[in-house]
Amino acid sequence: MENYIVSARKYRPSTFNNVVGQKALTATLRNSISKNRLAHAYLFCGSRGVGKTSCARIFAKTINCRHRTPDGEACNECVSCREFNKGASLNIVELDAASNNGIEDMRSIIDQVQVPPVDADYRVFIIDEVHMLSSQAFNAFLKTLEEPPSYVIFILATTEKHKIIPTILSRCQIYDFNRITIQDMVDHMSYVASQEGISVETAALNVIARKADGAMRDALSIFDQVAASSMGNVTYASTIENLNILDYEYYNKLVDAFLTGDVPRALLIYKEIREKGFDSQFFINGLASHFRDLMVAQNPSTLVLLEASDESRKALAEVASRCTPAFLYKAMDLCNQADLNYRAASNKQFLVELTLIKLCQLLSPSPEIDGAGEGRQLRPIVSGAASSASSAPSAGEGAPAKPVEQVRQAPVAPPVRPVAPAPSPIRKGDAGRLRKPALSINRKPVDSGVAAVAEQSGPDRNRASLFSDEQFAEAWAQFIQTHPTEHLLINAMRMARPLRVSDNVYSATVESEAIRDSIQLSMPELLAYLRDRLSNDYVEVQVHLNKGQASVTSLTDSEVYALMRKNHPYLNVVIDDFHLTLV
């Protein structure tokens, strides 16, 4: 019985024409051979399984071939080709630098360089995974690599070019191998299946190609695994089951639940996914990638960015047509937030479920749900059908019989503790000036919708209740607590410490433009919140950038220490008497 050989070895390319996905690179190598313009050193770079070592072997065989074909391929009939195909060629030396990376191994190569070729024009040394050589081995190799004998050609291969020292790179012609495209892998696996008598579905081959992530060798190994599992009948269903892959069907069902606001269905789908053994972080990353694919599929000009078959692209474009760009952008942002918070979350399942609920509420007519503020109302958690039925008016019903009871409760104003003098009476001519506070620095134009929210912070636009600095600080801190996910804003507001400059005006000096801009972007919402909490419609906050001397909070420990000794000379006596030091 003939021994079984895996497809990755059995169908390893033996000519340049058989190399998958590297047409431009192989054409360059063939031209250099036909024009006899051979360099003394080559460096083949690229990810795993893209054909670096295979091209090195084909290149070594072809340059020693005695009867090359008109298109620059080896004849496979001369003595040199036959010896190479049998693995008995003395003119081709291969070294695995991963296991032979010491200086003694390199000295052995340098000694072999002195031996001329036998019945050939060149001796070719192929060093695989060359980045694994030690620094001493690299240094010992430099002189030989720069000026080898005329009959020696070095071909170095690596998956990590950045680990190779520049002095080696400067002595080589560098060839960067591309990742194999999905379509090229599908075509090659179809060829292998036809040669092996295996029936395949194109959709199954697409799944295998995506799983291989640009590596042809990995794709053939996965293909062998699925073919063995399915008894030579590679179907989409058998491939998904065998590889335990979360396919588009689950994600599309989730998108349907998000578009209809069906929270229970989304949670049940997530439960089913967990029961199949998928990691929650893997799921949330896959969902984010699916939203990205839908965004790309919305525009015909960006459809080429999808690494999928034409059928998959059409299916994604159909689903994407039901989504708005704003929905997809916000959905990707929520998934990204969940991924960033996943590692720190103590209850990871709850984090993912909360993200799914937020995704279901994205198309709710109420305000955005991830921000904070009073009066925000969420859609009830009911199935999609029940939700649409409850929201639609009955036949013949023109308007509700009585107004719906308002859920929002008016905020309770904190007790007034006047500590500052009573504000001067507001004259008629001053009303317009006080009602339109202006910031002390230049700001970007605020959207009219956001500005309207800031102007209409309460039903009574003439509120002018007195408040204390403690009440203002409490409202400032409460606004920070209502934005738990906006880390940049939280840090900016904590570093800014507003001080009262007049009855209703506070000023904050910050140390960087980033802190200033973060507060300014949220200024309309911040002012509306402060005015509601303090029952005063004339509260203003001015943000200034510190362009002079650094504040105490921006000084280092040693600078603070020196400043204290300068401003308080008596401290020097205490420090000297007790022999104190700064630690």
Q: What is the pLDDT of residues 48-95, one digit of tens each?
A: 888 899 999 999 999 988 888 888 888 888 888 888 888 888 888 888
pLDDT at site 560: 65
pLDDT at site 367: 44
pLDDT at site 221: 92
Helix (H) or strand (E) run with residue 56 in it = helix 52-63
- Indicate the DSSP class of residue 101: -
Instruction: Give the strand order in the sheet containing 505-510.
Output: 499-500, 505-510, 540-545
pLDDT at site 351: 93
pLDDT at site 556: 59
3-class DSSP state of 218: helix
pLDDT at site 140: 87
pLDDT at site 267: 93
Q: What is the largest CA-CA distance in the chain?
A: 108
3-class DSSP state of 508: strand
pLDDT at site 365: 60
Considering only CA atoms, give the Rg of the chain: 35
Point out the residues of the chain with pLDDT beneath 50: 366-377, 383-460, 550, 552-554
**Pick from 72, 6, 7, 89: which is nearest to 33 by CA?**
72
pLDDT at site 379: 53
Q: Which domains are seen in the chain, by residue range?
A: 7-176 (3.40.50.300), 182-243 (1.10.8.60), 248-387 (1.20.272.10), 436-545 (no CATH)
